[in-house]
Amino acid sequence: MTKADTTKEKSTQANSSYSASDIEVLEGLDAVRRRPGMYIGGVDQKALHHCVYEIVDNSIDEALAGYCNEIRATINVDGSITVLDDGRGIPVDKVSKTGLSGVETVFTKLHSGGKFGTSLSYKVSGGLHGVGASCVNAVSSKMDVEVYRDGKTYFVQFLGDNTSGKIGQNNEPLKVIGKSDKTGTKVTFWPDPKIFKDQETGKMPVCNREVIAIRLREMAFLNKGLKIVFTDERLQKAEPHYEEMYFYEGGIKSYVEFLNSTKTCLHKEVIYFENTKEDVIVEIAMQYTDTYSDSIFVFANNINNPDGGTHLTGFRNSLTRVINDYGKKGVFKENEENLQGEDVREGLTAIVSVKVRDPQFESQTKVKLLNNEVQTAVMAVLGESLKDWLDRNPKEAKIIVQKGIQARDAREAARKAKNLIRRQSVLESAGGLPGKLADCTSRDAEMCELFIVEGDSAGGSAKQGRERMFQAILPLRGKILNVERARIGKIYDNTEIQALIQAIGLSTIGDDVLRPNIDELDLDKIRYHKIIIMTDADVDGAHIRTLLLTFFFRYARPVIENGYMYIAQPPLYKVEKNKKVIYCYNEHQLELAKAELGEKTNVQRFKGLGEMMPVQLWETTMNPEKRTLKRVSFQDAAEADRIFDILMGDAVGPRREFIEEHAGLAILDV
Ligand code: 28F
């Protein structure tokens, strides 16, 4: 939960009928509704998801404390959400500090993390903002809570428009409504349509099943032995009952197995360590594959930290040290140079999960962990355990060290190749821009757009149709390299990728762009804030789009993270009758257009961008006033990682399955 300064929110109007604590409660929850951005990160679908996670997190806390084995989350037909756990049940007796029952305290008091009166072990700080159950209550029109405890079922309902006119209060006190032979807590909340609004449509957002499923699965991976059942009652036409169960006895070890299930692994068993140091619980699972990039995901108290932090630093430092130490004991040749961090990480899939009492994050969004003791703890655990593992598994150890040696040799070769290419390209194009780029006149990156176009003929149409002032065109010839299956040296060799890097300004001389450490890519020199992939609406176009997205995801991820990456939406059909023209972007629109124009309409199907007139391309796809662009984003790096591997990797089986299942890049939420 955000530490809200309730005193700041206090109303100047005194009301003698409220007790002191009432006022605090009232104004606390009211503050959430006045500034939802501060508490739940907005009013859109993402914020709605945060609310679900927040309630689930309370159950997870109960699991972390060792009392809860099973969580059931359900999206109900009316869009409300129910979460049920089999923990101890929220205490029902009076909390002296608030004068309310434990249940009422949890849901109506805006408190700043940590549970009242209990010295809680390792509290999960929740989703992106960690808002607390009371914040969810504040943005709900209704919330029902059942507690199963002491052989009884307790019930209380909080209402947005209750008789007191106060936000999220209960008309009736907590009461016993029956017996119970189990323990636990059940919460159902109805998100308030007066609060939630999708920015684009202005409508009430709804939960995205896939997004929630990925998160719940991740929670199950991170908490071994915890069973999570997810049900979506909002069925689409002819859809069977949707229910998924996540349960992983191996925890993050199972997570690594899952992430590597489509890859070729260099050793059979996932390496797994668990230990407590410096009061920090450290869990590490890792396995090398024959791929060329690394997939390391770090978590603090079940929260993913995409910007890393002390756990990642500790892991990296220790890994490099331990592998070099082992190498020196026999695998390295005499006087052989040490391996660098990026060498020992090549092909590695790893999860590092720490549980820490007082997690410190760089910002509200918790993307980076700061606790120094975590670095010490992770280094100590990996230092001891990995050394021991390598000593006990000499065959596997040798394979791992040799993978690092290969990576280092390739890196060296790439450095030489790169210098050569740099010299050449500097000679070729004075400004460092690729010859085939038709640049725009403006130098204001914020307003500039780059269209990456497939083929010279489409490139020609785009060049003629564009608004030259702020739109640049880069035609690519044929398919770009599949970076998922190529080492860095080969990537530098690829002229299409060179052109991309130079055109976008990802590279300046002397600056290493294609480093595996993509998080540090500097976007200061970026030349366009909209990079738009414009390919044909066919299978080849889709493939080229995926190749391009793979490149950006693997080697220029900040471009996507900053929201600079877009997909153009060219029309599929032109429907025409008596000079009235309708462009259609899908089959549904085609049906509507045919119905609108009636008999004897002329339907033209566009086979490629190249066959469109420049002015048509401008009108339908490039003109900012009329076009629709889709922004590329990914919700979960681990899942995006896995999907790119399925789409672009070696394993044909899973790829076919995946494409049949998703028929597109579902995760990319384009
Ligand atoms: C569906 C959402 O919220 N589960 C929870 C517990 C258990 C305890 C607890 C929660 C009470 C007064 C703070 C029980 N017994 N699921 C949930 N399960 N909160 S939330 O305690 C919170 C304190 O103020 C619990 C003993 N200690 C703690």
Instruction: Give the Å distance between the CA of 650 and the centre of ligand 1.
Output: 47
284-294 pLDDT, tens digit per residue, is 999 999 998 89
- Amino acid identity of residue 431, one-letter, is G
pLDDT computed for residue 326 by the predictor: 96
Question: How far apart are the CA of 62 and the centre of ligand 1, in A?
Answer: 7
Q: What is the topology classification, in CATH, of domain 424-570+631-665?
A: Rossmann fold (3.40.50)
> Ligand 1 pocket, 459 CB below 6 A?
no
The response to whether residue 82 sits with its C-beta less than 6 Å from ligand 1 reads no
Give the confidence band of 193 by pLDDT, cuts at 50, 70, 90. very high
Structural contact between residues 534 and 458, judged by C-beta atoms closer than 8 angstroms = yes
Q: Is 98 in the pocket of ligand 1 (CB under 6 A)?
A: no
Question: Per-residue pLDDT tens for 115-170?
Answer: 433 334 455 544 333 448 999 999 999 999 999 999 999 999 999 877 777 788 88
CATH of domain 28-246: 3.30.565.10
- Tell the residue nearest (CA) to atom 3 of ligand 1: 58
| Residue having the nearest C-alpha atom to atom 10 of ligand 1 | 90
- 422's tokens: 């740099």
**For range 637-660, the mean pLDDT:** 72
Residue 65's Cβ-count burial label (10 Å; 0-12, 13-18, 19+) is middle
In this structure, what token pair is assigned to residue 83? Answer: 């979460």
What atom in ligand 1 is closest to the CA of residue 84?
A: 1
What integer is the mean pLDDT of 610-637? 88
Q: Are strands 94-95 and 227-232 parallel, antiparallel or unpaired?
A: unpaired
Which residue has a Cα nearest atom 16 of ligand 1?
A: 59
Q: Indicate whether 10 pLDDT > 50.
A: no
Give the integer Cα–Cα distance in Å for 567 and 500: 16
Cβ-based neighbours of 465, under 8 Å, separated by 6 or more: 613, 614, 615, 616, 617, 618, 622
Q: How far apart are CA 69 and CA 378, in angstroms?
A: 27
User: 373-406: b or e for each residue (b if 16 or more CB lie within 10 Å)?
Assistant: bbbebbbbbbbebbbebbeeeeebbeebbebbbe
CB of residue 185 inside a 6 A radius of ligand 1: yes
Q: Which residues are CB-neighbours of 390 under 8 A, at least 6 positions away? A: 322, 323, 326, 396, 397, 400
Percent pLDDT > 90 in the chain is 54
What are the residue numbers of the active site?
454, 536, 538, 540
pLDDT tens digit string along 485-496?
787 777 777 888
Confidence check: pLDDT of 5 > 80: no
Q: In whole angstroms, what is the distance from residue 453 CA to residue 568 CA?
A: 10
C-alpha–C-alpha distance, residues 44 and 62, integer Å: 28
How many contiguous H segments (helices) and E segments (strands) does the chain have?
21, 23
Is the dihedral angle over the CA atoms 11, 15, 19, 20 positive or is it negative?
positive
Classify strands 70-75 and 81-85 as parallel, antiparallel or unpaired.
Answer: antiparallel
CB 90 less than 6 A from any atom of ligand 1: yes
Q: Which amino acid is at 221?
A: F
The verdict on the CB of residue 118 being under 6 Å from ligand 1 is yes
| pLDDT above 70 coverage of the chain, percent | 85
Q: What is the pLDDT of residue 122?
A: 55
- The Cα 139–Cα 160 span in angstroms is 8
Q: Rounded to whole angstroms, how far apart are CA atoms 253 and 350?
A: 9
Assigned architecture for domain 252-416:
2-Layer Sandwich (3.30)
* Strongest mean pLDDT among 102-116, 195-209, 510-524: 195-209
What average pLDDT score do residues 588-603 get?
Answer: 89
Query: Where is 127: in which H helix or E strand?
Result: none
Q: How far is the CA of 180 from the centre of ligand 1 (A)?
A: 17
Q: Is 102 close to ligand 1, i.e. is its CB under 6 Å away? A: yes
> Which residue's CA is the nearest one to ligand 1's atom 12?
102
Tens-digit pLDDT profile for residues 252-273: 999 999 999 999 999 999 999 9
CB atoms within 10 A of CB 483: 25
Residue position matching structure tokens 């005499």: 334
Residue 521's pLDDT is what? Answer: 66
Which residue of 52, 72, 115 sits with most ligand 1 atoms within 8 Å of its CB, as the best mutation to test the pocket? 115
Instruction: Give the residue-averaged pLDDT of 173-177.
Output: 95
Cα(176) to centroid of ligand 1, in Å? Answer: 17
Q: Cα of 116 to ligand 1 centre, how many Å?
A: 10
Tell me the whole-structure pTM to 2 decimals: 0.76
Tell me, using a 6 A CB cutoff, whether residue 85 lines ligand 1. yes
The amino acid at 648: M
Cα–Cα distance for residue pair 43/202, rounded to 1 Å: 11
pLDDT reported for residue 165: 73
How far, in Å, is the centroid of ligand 1 from the Cα of 80?
22
> Lowest mean pLDDT: which of 120-124, 456-460, 554-558?
120-124
Quote the ligand 1 centre to 250 CA distance (angstroms): 27
Pairing of strands 175-179, 152-159: antiparallel
Minimum mean pLDDT among 15-19, 72-76, 513-517: which range? 15-19
Tally Cβ neighbours within 10 Å of residue 295.
22
Mean pLDDT (whole number) for 374-390:
97
CB-based contact 84:245 (threshold 8 Å): no
Average pLDDT over residues 211-219: 95
pLDDT level of residue 668 (50, 70, 90 thresholds): very low
Taking 3-state DSSP, the helix, strand and coil percentages for the chain, each rounded to the nearest 5, stand at 40, 20, 40
Pocket probe mutation, ligand 1, options 62, 86, 140, 174, max atoms within 8 Å of Cβ: 62
Confidence label for 504 from pLDDT (cuts 50, 70 and 90): very high
* Single-letter amino acid, residue 242: Y
Mean pLDDT of 557-578: 90
- Average pLDDT on 101-112 reads 84
Task: State whether the beta carbon of 83 lies less than 6 angstroms from ligand 1.
Answer: yes
Q: Output the pLDDT for position 455.
A: 85
Q: What are phi and psi of 173, to 5 degrees?
A: -70, 165
Is 543 close to ligand 1, i.e. is its CB under 6 Å away?
A: no
Give the per-residue pLDDT at 431. Answer: 52
350 or 99: which carries more pLDDT confidence?
350
List the domain boundaries for the chain.
28-246, 252-416, 424-570+631-665, 572-605
Which of 158-162, 514-518, 539-543 shows the lowest per-residue confidence on average (mean pLDDT)? 514-518
